[in-house]
Structure 1
């Protein structure tokens, strides 16, 4: 009997080997491993070696990755702890988003962009990557420093700001006015805010049928995932993003008495899904497009890094940080976040940005993530690099 090769298994093996090899390489270089995930997606995707070519599969993986990414973010957010450094975190984030939107408004007015595109791209460049910042601080030994806490606090608050951004984008889709949709969106917004307020005011609460779940960890896990995708489906029906529902579901699971342990137990699953998300993004990067637009991308990357660095440095300086701390903190926050991929995808699906603008945005985000370690190191004060830590809290 002749055996036949299962090419699907070969594809899966290729993905895991590429992620493993790339991850080891970038870990040895002390660089964020998400760069390996992105590059693996580029190499294996339809615009690279073509090992994975099914566009529907790539899109589906990306959608699942977005939902799970927001679900895990919801489980990681601790509102009471975040509010202890509220002045820097909340005021800094608000000023950063406002300054970014104004900067894009200045460019967009000159290029005659519609308002919804200006707002979307302003939101996109205003977000910084918490995972990259944390990795850079750990590598430099500055995690417990004042500038480290400022950078992490602002980036986490920016992650939280994705939720109102998604709500705003839901209202700016550029479609004809639909009264029924508008009512559903208002109901959805009120529901989301109500649930978040309930979670903030209640230290712990019990889920319906919680007594049936209390001693059954397997069912707790499936209940958590059901809450995640159920909430995503509800917010989608209410005219909001599935990402909003997944985020709120994560907060519910983290706060509920029966499922509070799920976040820790799913840590390995989280690593896998984060890798899946970045792989799917890498597969969307059109290398032919990148090669054809290298000058524009390099220019935009420089503008994004410089703009974000000095906006954030200025904000930190106003909030009382030293010049050295402010510049270093601004450089740490200069890259564009992985959550901006979510905003860009929603903008593309709703017609706010064109395919050209979407490809340019995806490439720009990816490049800023890749160069952020070198950019932050350039702004790190020399005496900090010689083993002297910045001021600790």
Structure 2
């Protein structure tokens, strides 16, 4: 019998909903279908505003949660129609929600994380059990609550013959470091956020070109890296913090960029884009090189995997930092390893829902720093 789950992902880039239908009845997850539903402009604007303190936040956040649940339900129905399935055949939906605050360990020692969501409404609209609120249990156990995907990456891409890095370039960049599998002697998997990715690139592109994102990285490739600005941004204390660590739009946003640009007012917009791309590439490469010098393969997922300029800059920085001859470090989109880059995180949330239903831990202390592995999420029955 098939074991069907739906994963829903809305990332920091605020571009839309990725939905996948996944079968977990075999040894490896099998993706049966995938769709993307774009965010309406007004909902994207609301979530952008909610990333910063503002007037009447609770009311606006509650209505945004309702709107997101309806968009999720629309995506679920379209996905089921595409795959020829019914709601009764799906065991659960994994719905992460839209993160608007992420403050682990802050303020009172525990901190908090906040994802706008309305899983009860989604369960009502879809007729399917919903698993949501994946981060808070890990934070309650002393962890960062993020990144959530390294255990999933290890389950599908761990190798016995090589150390693999999985680099997710969504709004924020995070990396999973999968050591060569050696039975009981395998070192722990590491995973952490390593800096900004598409969130700054997309926002800067929208401000100056009106385009939602820099397709293929062509605009960045047309500019020149400003070394002074790059070195100044790399002084951000987050980059030097030891793992486990996580971040988000709470830190890396346009105001953060504008503060750095105040010292360099004459830089051309294309040169700023080139510098932001280099910031993403070099901070990602440094994270891999610092923790896993023996890495031989880097699997890139998320929207950034389709940015050819970013991939080229990552390759060059890795070869410089790892000291390998050209070609020894293979940088590939996850498409080449069986899951298209834009689907990986949605599949991961289907996997997290599957683990929750089985009451199996899905967080690892080596990744988040929590006191122990935990079953993640809360169940909202249909």
Q: Report TM bin, short chain.
A: under 0.3
Going by fraction, where is helix more abundant, 1 or 2?
1
Structure 2 length-normalised TM? 0.25
Structure scoring higher RCO (CA < 8 A, sep ≥ 6) equals: 1
**Which one has a bigger Cα radius of gyration?**
1
TM-score (norm 1): 0.25
